[in-house]
Structure 1
Amino acid sequence: MMALGLLPSAPAHAFNLSGDGKGKHVVILGGGLAGMASAYELNKLGYRTTILEARNRSGGRCWSIRKGSTNQEGDGPMLTANFDAGLYYNAGPSRIPHHHQLTMHYCKELGVPLEVYNNVNEGTYYFSEGKGPLSNKKVRAREIHNDMRGYMSELLAKALDQEKLDLALNKEDAAKVIEYLRAEGGLDIDKLYKASARRGYIESPGAGEKSGKIADPHKLADIIQSGLLDPDFYNVAEYTYELQMTMFQAVGGMDNIAKALEKKVISSLKLGTEVKSILNVPDGVKITYKDKQGEHEMKGDICICTLPLPILSNVNHNFASEVSRAIDFVPYIQTGKMGLQFKRRFWEEDEQIYGGITHTNNELTQIFYPSYDYLSKKGILIGYYNFNEKAKTVGDLSMADREKLALEKGSLIHPQYKQEFETSFSVSWHKTKYNMGGWAVYNSEARKTLYPALLKPDQNVYFAGEHTTYLTAWMAGAFESARSAVAAVHSRVAEQRVKYPVTSNNG
C-alpha cells in the first residue's frame, strides 16, 4: 500500500508537534548539526530562524577533509588539503552505531545514502613499543584476542574443576559452564588451550595436500610482558556498546549529512558571522555578531545556543551564575587526526586489511583503514587518532613534524609508508578555531553540579549540542539535543499563546 501511495510511510523517529510558530523569530548560534537540525525542525513549524555560523562552511565538527579543505589552528596559517579529488577522511565523526535511531532517521529523511563501516577487523594489528618478547612487532588482533580468550577460559575451567569460584552452581550447571568455556576459548578435551585456525595461519590452506599450518599461541607471560594487556589495548570494539557492529557511514563522507541539512536551511544560514555577545533582554534576546562588514546587532524572540562551551566561554553574556560556571568549567577532550594519502592501497594488497583499526601504545594511538573504495588504486589512512596528553604532544608539533612523526611511527607497522606516501593533512581539534576541543568530557561530579544548568533555558536562551546530552562525541548527541530544544521552545510558545491569546481589533 505504501508503494502504491495508499498509505503514508511512518518515519522511524517521527517528530509530530502540533501548533505553529508563525510570528516568532528564533536566533540559532552555531551552524553544526545541532544548530541546523534545530532550524530544520523549527522551519517546519513556521518559525522564522536565523543561524549564525562563524566559519565559512556549515557542519561544525561533522567535517570530511578533501581536496581544497582549509583549517586554521590558533594564530597559525590557513592550511589547505591537497588530497586527490574523490579521496577524503572524516576529521570529526566517522561512525554511526546501528542503534542511534535518530541519526539513522535523519539520514533516511534527508536522502543521505549509508554504507557499512567496518569497525571490527581481526586482521588489523596490535603494536606495542617496549622491551617484551612481542614488543616492536606487529601482531594480528585475532592472535591476541583468541589467545587471551583461550587462556582465560582455561583458567576459569580449572577454577571450576577445583571449586575455587564463589558460584552457587551444582555439578550439572558447572558442567554446562565448562562446555561453554571450551567453545568460547577453543579448549581441548582436557580443558587446555591449544592454538586453532581461529587465530589464523602461517601457511594458508589450499588445493591438494595444502591443509594449512597454524602457529603456536603466544605465551601468556609474553603477552603480559610486552604490554599487550595494558590500557592502550583495552578498547575491544565488539564489547563496547557504541562500537558494536553493524556500524554505518555516509557514502562519500560524513559531511554529506551536514550538506543535506544545509540545503534544507540555506535561507536561514548566515556564514562568516562570529558571535560576540548574547544578552537576554525583556522582550527576547539581543545578539551581537561580527562579519566582514563589521559588527551588527540582531534581535530575536528566543535563542538556541549550540556553540561549543570553550567558544561560548569567551562570548560576552548575561547568563545566570550557575550557567556561566558550567560553561567555564566543563572540560573538552584534546584530540587529533591526520589523514595520509598513499599512491597504493598496500594495506589491502599486501596485508589483506579492509577497514578496521590498528592499536598502538605510542603517539599514534590508532590507525584507521578506510571502509570505502575497496580495491581502488589510491587511499587515505587515518595515520593517527589520539587523545589527551598524546594529542597535546602531537598537536604542539608543527604540521611538518606531525607528518614526520606519523610516517616514522607508522613505518614500524607498515614499512610501505615511505615508498607509497604522497601527502597529508592534520587537525588538532583542541587548537582549531571555533572549536577548541573535541567534545565535552563529564565526570560523575560534573554531571551532578554543572550539567543540570545547561539543560534548562536561561530566560530566553536555550542550549543544545552534544554537551547537553549523555551522547557526547556522537552525532546523535547533536540531533537529540536539537529535538529536545525545539520541543521545549515550541511548548513555551504554545503556552504563551494559550495564556495571552491574540485577539482581533473587534474582540
Structure 2
Amino acid sequence: MGLVPAAPAHPFRLEGSGDGKEVVILGAGLAGMAAAYELDKLGYRCTILEARERTGGRCWSVRKGATNEETGGGLHTAGFDAGQYFNAGPSRIPHHHGLTLHYCKELSVPIQVYNNVNENTYYYSEGKGPLSNKKVRVREAHSDVRGWMAELLAKAMDGGKIDVEMSKEDTLKVIEYLRAEGGLDIDKLYKASARRGYSESPGPGDREGKIGEPMTLLAMLQSGLLDPDFYNVAEYTYELQGTLFQAVGGMDRIAAAFEQKVGRLIRMGSEVRHIRNLEKGVQVGYKDKTGEKTMQADLCICTIPLPVLSNIDHNFSSDASRAIDSIVYMSTGKIGLQFKRRFWEEDEGIYGGITHTNNQLTQIFYPSYDYLGGKGILIGYYNFNEKAVATGNLTYEQREQLALEKGSLIHPQYRQEFERSFSVSWHKTKYNMGGWALYSADERQTLYKALLQPDKQVYFAGEHMTYLNAWMAGALESARSVVAALHSRVTGQRFSYPVFGS
C-alpha cells in the first residue's frame, strides 16, 4: 500500500563489469577503502596507495602503542593500558546516516548507543559574573533559562504586547503551553521544580528532598551562560539529535572491517609524490621504504585531504588547482586522558555526554561505553579554530598540563586519579593537515563545483566532496557517488547515485 518506507540504504547494485580496468586509489581512509570495496565487486583491478602504516585516515581510535607525527612536534606514542582507547576522529553516527549504518551491518561491525546529551554534565564559565568559575549542572541551566524565558513571553502575551494575530482563545492556549514548557505556576511565574534537580536528594522516610534556588536570568547573563559557548546546545543540531550510535570497541572497527575486505589491495607506507594525467590513463609517483616508484592506471580516485594534495606535484586544470589550494580546513584537536578510576561516574553520576566550557578545553567528552568499569579514558578537550591553534602550538606535555589544570576546575579528582595522556592536533598531523573541509556559500558555487567533476582521468572523493563535512557519511557517500560516475564512464551506461543519508 506504500505505507512502509524502503530501507534507507542497500548494497550497491551496479550493472556491467569493470572488465579489468586498473584504478589507482590515493588514500586508505574510509572513502578510499569503500571505493575499492565496491569497484572490486565490479571487476576492476584496484591498487590503494596509503602513506601511513595504518588504514582509516581520520577514523582513528588511539590505543596502546599508537603513534602520530605532527609538524614541529615529532612522533608521539600512546602509552594507554591495553583495552583502553579514545576516538581521536569521528565518535558518533547519527541515526539518519543510513549508509554508515548500512556498512556497519554489511561488514558485521556491531554498534551501540552513544549518549551525546546528558543533563547531568556541566557548564563551566570562567569570568567575573556571580555564577562564573562554578560548575553548573546542565539541567539547572536548561530549566532556569527555559523557565525565565517562558515567564517573560507569557507575561508579554497576557498583556497583549506580542504583535501576532491571535484570538483570545489561541493566546490562552499558547500561555498554557508556556506554563507547561517553562514550569510556570498559575500566576505565570517561574519557580524552581524537580525538573532542575535537587540540592538534597529525596529518599526514605520523611526525606522528601530539597529543590535548589533557581539562578536568576541576570546572573546567568552576566556569567556568560547565555553566550554561544553554551546556548549552541547539541540537541538542537540536526546531526546530533538522538539516536546516535558508535562502533562497539572503537570507531576504528569500521576501518578495520573495510581493511579486511580490501587489505590485499593496499600498499602501506607509500607516500604520493606526483600525479600526472596522461593522454590515456594516469601516472602516480610515490615513495616507499625501498625508494621512488611510479605506476600507471586507467583511472584514479584521489581521496587525499586538500591541504596535503596542495603540496603534491600534479598537472590538474587551473580550476581544480585553484580549488585545491584555496579550501580551508578546520583547526581542531583532542586529548585523551586515562584515569585510575571512572570518578565522573562513581562520584558525580555522569554516564556519557559532554561538559561545555568557555575556556581552552571547549568540551569534555565522557565515554559512552564500559560503564561501571575500572579505569577509563575521557576526552579532556575537543576544541576548534583559534583555541585549537593555540593548544596545538603547545608541546605534548604542555597540552597535558593545560587539560589537567583546566579540567581540575571542574573535576578536582583529576590530579589524584590521572595516569597518562595522548593528544592529536589534526591541523598539524602529517597526511591530514586539518579536521575537515570548510566552505563559504560562494565557495560551494565555485571551488567545490570545480572538484565535483573529474579532472580528466582523476576523480576526487572524501568528506570534502559532500555537504556532510566532518562525518564518516561524507567519505562513504562520496565514495559511492564517484564509483557510480566512474562505472558510468567505463560501461557507457548512466548510473545515477541516490543519497541514502536522509
SS in 1 for 2:162: coil
Partner deviation per Cα, 1:411-430 (whole Å, 9 max, x = no partner): 00000001000000000000
The 5 Å alignment of 1:332-411 reads 332-411=329-408
Residue 499 (structure 2) aligns with: none
Deviations 1:363-403 (A, max 9, x none): 00000000000001110010000000000001000111111
- Measure, in 2, the Cα distance between the counterparts of 1:34 and 1:317: 21
Q: Deviations over 1:326-375 (max 9, x none)?
A: 10000001000000000011000000000000000000000000000000
1:80 equivalent in structure 2: 77
What SS class does the counterpart of residue 28 from structure 1 fall into? strand
- 1:212 counterpart (206, 209, 234): 209
Which residue number in structure 2 is paired with residue 437 of structure 1? 434
CA separation in 1, counterparts of 2:301 and 2:322? Answer: 19
1:232 corresponding residue in structure 2 = 229
Partner of 2:114: 117
The CA deviation at 1:120 is 0.3
- For the 8 Å contact 2:8–2:98, the answer to whether it is kept is no
Q: Deviations over 1:56-98 (max 9, x none)?
A: 0000000000101001101433221000111100000000000
Partner of 2:194: 197
Q: Which has the higher mean CA deviation after the structures are superposed, 225-234 or 125-134?
A: 225-234
Aligned counterparts of 2:48 and 2:81: Cα–Cα separation in 1: 32
- What letter matches 1:362 in structure 2? N
> What aligned pairs does 1:411-430 form with structure 2 within 5 A after superposition?
411-430=408-427
Pairing of 1:11-410 with structure 2 (within 5 A): 12-410=9-407
What whole-Å deviation, never above 9, does each CA across 1:272-315 have from its counterpart, x for those lacking one?
Answer: 00001111101110000110111111111110000000000001
Deviation of 1:185 (Å) = 0.5
Is 2:73–2:396's contact at 8 Å kept on the other side of the alignment? no
**8 Å contact 2:32–2:303 — kept in the other structure?**
yes
Task: Report the equivalent of 1:501.
Answer: none
Shift of 1:23: 1.9
Q: Deviations over 1:463-485 (max 9, x none)?
A: 00000000000000000000000
Tell me the amino acid that sits aligned with residue 216 of structure 1: E
**2:316 and 2:360 mapped to 1: Cα distance?**
40
Confirm or deny: 8 A CA contact 2:8 2:99 kept in the other structure: no
Alignment check: 8 A CA contact 1:153 1:185 kept: yes
Cα distance in 2 for partners of 1:10, 1:394 equals 43
Look up the equivalent residue of 1:190 and give its one-letter code: D
The residue that corresponds to 2:500 in the other structure is none
| 1:409-460 C-alpha deviation (Å, 9 max, x unpaired) | 0000000001000000000000000000000011112112211011110001
Amino acid at match of 2:364: I
Query: For the Cα contact (< 8 Å) 1:13–1:101, is it kept in 2?
Result: no
Gaps of 5+ in 1: 1-8, 498-507
Aligned mate of 2:485, from 474, 480, 488: 488
Tell me the CA shift for residue 13 of structure 1. 2.7
SS in 1 for 2:274: strand
Report runs of 4+ in structure 1 exceeding 4 Å deviation.
none
* Cα drift, residue 12 of structure 1: 3.4
Sequence identity percentage: 73
CA distance in 2, matches of 1:328, 1:88: 35
Q: Distance in 2 between matches of 1:159 and 1:10?
A: 47
User: How far is 1:10 from its partner?
Assistant: 7.6
Distance 1:10 1:161, change over 3 A: closer
Structure 2: which 5+ residue stretches go unaligned? 1-5, 495-502
Gap change, CA 1:179 and 1:11, over 3 Å in 2: closer
Given candidates 432, 444, 464, the residue that maps to 2:461 is 464
Q: TM-score, normalised by structure 1?
A: 0.95
TM-score by length of 2: 0.96
For 1:163 and 1:451, how far apart are their aligned partners in 2?
Answer: 49
State the distance in 2 between where 1:166 and 1:265 align: 63
Q: Supply the AA of the counterpart residue of 1:385.
A: Y
The CA RMSD measured in Å over matched residues stands at: 1.2
SS at match of 2:74: coil
**In 2, distance between residues paired with 1:279 and 1:169?**
67
Q: 1:224-270, CA deviations, whole angstroms, 9 ceiling, x for partnerless residues?
A: 00001111112211111101111000000000000000000011111
